[in-house]
Amino acid sequence: AQSVTQLDSQVPVFEEAPVELRCNYSSSVSVYLFWYVQYPNQGLQLLLKYLSGSTLVKGINGFEAEFNKSQTSFHLRKPSVHISDTAEYFCAVIPQGSNYQLIWGAGTKLIIKP
Amino acid sequence: EAGVVQSPRYKIIEKKQPVAFWCNPISGHNTLYWYLQNLGQGPELLIRYENEEAVDDSQLPKDRFSAERLKGVDSTLKIQPAELGDSAVYLCASSLQGTYNEQFFGPGTRLTVL
């Protein structure tokens, strides 16, 4: 069975500091990978996705993620965070050849300290 | 372009009462999803529609939950009767038909069962 693990439930970081949100997955087949963001009282929004090609993927709002197949990871990074980045971030995968169902991690709350 | 619309945004009911949630997807999106999201967890798929056909309802608790998408556009999710454990956020999402198309989420309906 496939699963997604987000290693940190909360990540506090000072404003303008860099941040990395970790995501690891387990799957017997290749996967497609996604990061979604959920701002307070809003719906989930796609940040970025990896389907194929370059393993470094750039998304919206200055975020990027790198797919590492050997480590089965897809960590999300931003070089300098802002107060507006306060949100919950979800990593998700779709196993290739599956019924298209997104398998979600439990989420990581990014807390920006002024 | 309007996003995915859900109503109501909040609902408080007593256990054993019925409740219904409504979703209007983005115009032109054939695929519609209903998810359940518990606090501190990622979304869990309840049902997926392709047009008016429910193509994946394997995780919908059919003893008390039902859903419909009669004209292949908007959709209703119903719980009857509601139980205390049904308290959660119910999310609706839509996408163009196809496996890896981005899912666009509504703001969700927060259900509290007393």
- Indicate the SS3 state at residue A83: helix
Touching B: A residues 21-50, CB under 8 Å: 32, 36, 41-46, 49
CB contact under 8 A, A105 and B42: yes
CB contact under 8 A, B40 and A107: yes
Beta pairing partners, A60: none
Of A49, A90, A94, the CB nearest to B42: A90
Spatial separation of the C-alpha atoms in residues B27 and A7, rounded to whole Å: 37
Tell me if B33 sits within 8 A of B20, measured CB to CB.
no
Spatial separation of the C-alpha atoms in residues B75 and B54, rounded to whole Å: 11
Q: What is the mean pLDDT of residues B94-114?
A: 88
pLDDT at A1: 78
% residues pLDDT > 70 (chain B): 97
Whether the pLDDT of residue B1 is over 70: the answer is no
The helix or strand, by DSSP H or E, that contains position B7, with its residue range, turns out to be strand B5-7
Quick: pLDDT tens for A37-54.
999 888 899 999 999 899
CB contact under 8 A, A43 and B108: yes
Touching B: A residues 62-101, CB under 8 Å: 90, 92, 94, 99-101
- Higher pLDDT: A114 or B18? It is B18
